[in-house]
Structure 1
Amino acid sequence: MFITQGFTRANSFGKYLIGSLLVFIASAIGQVPLLIAIGIKSVMGGNVPSTETDIYKMFDSNLFLLLILLSFVCALAGLYFIVKGLHHQTFLSIITSRKKIDWKRVFFAFGIWFVFSAGMIIISYFIDDSEIKLQFNLIPFLILALITLLLMPIQTSTEELVFRGYLMQGFFNLARNKWFPLIMTSVIFGTMHIFNPEIQKMGYLLLVYYIGTGLFLGIITLMDEGTELALGFHAANNMAAALLLTSDFTVFQTHSIFKDMSEPALGLEVFLPVFIIFPTLIFVFAKVYNWSNWKDKLIGNHQDLPYLEDQEQFQDQM
């Protein structure tokens, strides 16, 4: 089972707490270039930014996106060394239970969600172009596309491997069941978005969407015994947001093709993915990959599961 691949006697839950702190520190180190750039801009402009909005206004959106995404490069590198050095596991063990990454799964999930997202944006534009404005500008968009293609998959993969890989296995080591890691990683993932600008605009009820998204990603990870589908979906979701549709109230403002001009409000489109679209996607994935044994994979209790005693046994399992 994917979730048990770190279940060794040496891997206490305390190690996962230390590892999570180290990933956070690595991410903070990756923010140093942004802090230096803010300092230079502040000195040159004679203005110290007091809000996130002030910081956004200091930079071209492409440069700001680049500086933000650099922190995830450091976080992913930190996670790699933590898994290898602190937990003595292969990095593959927090990605999948298969002998190697199934890239077909990654690209299948990416394709299905990117096409769906692009289709919905284009349909919305032609239905009512007063709320979605075409703002395509070739050169800034090409720079955005380059940054997005190179760094956005690193950002989304870091989040998936931390939550659906590393922490999912860590919480299993603590609880020895499936439902607790699924719930905990979903709630933590959702509440990590609490400081996003859209939460401030639309209210905390929007966390239902983020927690629901975490739950969806956790379910497909547990059912598929690996993070490949979650990796593809998350990359498609964020890349579509960066390249296709931006707004003044989302966490990233970009030189995307379209801009959402509507007033932010909690509506059906916020809850539709969680209660209709994501369950439909789960159904599609289940049919394509012949998922079974749902109860054990999602809420199974494994209190009597023996430890993998050492790294050699772990490698034998891999």
Structure 2
Amino acid sequence: MFINQVFKYKHDFWRYIIGVVVVVTGIIVGQIPLLIALVAEKGYEIMGMAESEMMTALDSNYFLFLMLLTYAVALLFLLFIVKRLHEQPLKTLTTSRSKIDWSRFWFAFGLVSIFILISTIGDYFTNPDDYVLNFQLMPFLILLVIAVIFVPLQTSFEEYFFRAYLMQGIGVFVRNRWVPLIITSVVFGGLHFFNPEVTKLGNIIMIHYIATGFLLGIMTLMDEGIELALGFHAANNLLTALIVTADWTAFQTNSIFKDISDPSVGWDILIPVLIIYPAFLYIMARKYKWSNWKEKLFGKVHKPQLLNVSEDN
């Protein structure tokens, strides 16, 4: 199974502590080009800037490229530590199947893309005054190239780090499934606390981010791999970057439309959590015939009795 297979590789908990430190170092290293560009543009006054001000200090496509470059570098650091420190192949970090199932990735990608397109078009025709046409051909084409290449790297880093590396590492340490599900989901959502959306909409939006972490974590445990989570996350961020931007979002891009409304969020934030997210899980469960939910989400992680590879703990 997705977590159990890690017992075949070097899985001492101290290795995961070192791994997290190395990944955080990768994030810091990846931010250096962005910091250099900001200092070159604004000088050391950036030290007192809010994140929203930094976003407007550079051309939006340039800023987006440098911001996403951070995650690309972090992904390289993560894959290096998995290969060298844990001696674990990429396939077992991705799935428990005999090979990575890219059809699952594309199914989730298509499902989320269709939902975003329908909901965005519906909202546009329902509330046309909330949108202005933001499309400019050359900036959009540049955005398209950057987004198609680097957004999947950003989302892949987050999925490989939270739903794979940490899910497996915590799982083999505590020997169950529910603890890594809770920890990775809460930490994933909590790191979004510094997003501009939280400043604009209030702390209640954190329910959405944490619930998204649980959604992706449940997909991973029920499907025994992160292929669906990879596709879901990539489609969500890519379509968001290309279709609609706003002055208060983490992705301020040369998208097709700009949302000029003054948004507010209340308990209606529970609608996606209680209706839309369960609908996604229901569709995936029916397609891939998920069963034994209790065991897969709350069961024990058992150490195999016989291993093909010697272990060192």
User: Is the TM-score greater than 0.5?
Assistant: yes
> Cα gap change, 1:135/1:166 in structure 2, threshold over 3 Å: closer, same or farther?
same
1:226-241 pair list within 5 angstroms: 226-241=225-240
Partner of 1:26: 26
The answer to whether the 8 A contact 1:7-1:169 is kept is no
Query: Please, what TM-score do these two structures have when normalized by structure 1?
Result: 0.93
Mapping for residues 105-254 of structure 1, pairs under 5 Å = 105-254=104-253
Aligned length: 310
Go from structure 1 to structure 2 and tell me whether the alpha carbon gap of 1:121 and 1:212 turns closer, same or farther (over 3 Å shift): same
Q: Distance in 1 between matches of 2:5 and 2:273?
A: 29
Report the Cα distance in structure 1 between the residues aligned to 2:200 and 2:89, rounded to whole angstroms. Answer: 42
Residue 32 of structure 1, CA deviation: 1.1
Q: Which residue in the other structure is 1:280 paired with?
A: 279
3-state DSSP of counterpart to 1:259: strand
Change over 3 Å in CA distance of 1:308–1:146 after alignment to 2: farther
* Residue 264 of structure 1, CA deviation: 2.5
Gap change, CA 1:312 and 1:305, over 3 Å in 2: closer
Q: Letter of the 2:293 partner, please give it.
A: W
Identity of aligned residues (%): 48
Question: What residue identity is the alignment partner of 1:86?
Answer: L
Matched, 1:39 2:33: no
Is the Cα contact below 8 Å between 2:9 and 2:86 reproduced in 1?
no
Supply the distance in 1 between the matched residues of 2:108 and 2:88 (Cα, whole angstroms): 27
CA contact (8 A) 1:249 1:264 kept: no
Deviations 1:3-61 (A, max 9, x none): 12222584122221210110110111111111111121124xx8545222331221111
Equivalent position amino acid for 1:217 in 2? L
CA distance in 2, matches of 1:79, 1:93: 14
- Contact kept in structure 1, 2:9 and 2:87, CA below 8 Å: no
CA deviations over 1:225-260 (Å, ceiling 9, x no partner): 100000000000000110011111111100111111
Within 1, Cα distance between the matches of 2:108 and 2:240? Answer: 16
Aligned to 2:291: 292
CA distance, structure 2, for counterparts of residue 59 and residue 269 of structure 1: 35
CA offset digits 1:249-289 (Å, max 9, x no partner) = 11110011111111131146532221111101101001000
Amino acid at match of 2:175: R
State the SS of the aligned residue for 2:193.
coil
| Number of the residue aligned with 1:5 | 5
Alpha-carbon distance change, 206 to 308 in structure 1, aligned in 2, over 3 angstroms: farther
1:171 is displaced (CA, Å) by 0.9
CA distance in 2 between counterparts of 1:272 and 1:114 reads 19
The match for 1:316 is: none
Q: Does the 8 Å contact 2:4/2:304 carry over to 1?
A: no
SS at 2:179 equivalent: helix
Contact kept in structure 2, 1:9 and 1:309, CA below 8 Å: no
Q: TM-score, normalization: structure 2?
A: 0.94
Amino acid at match of 2:211: G
Q: Mind listing any 5+ residue stretches in structure 1 that lack a counterpart? A: 314-318
Residue number among 39, 43, 50 corresponding to 2:48 in the alignment: 50
Aligned Cα root-mean-square deviation (Å): 1.7
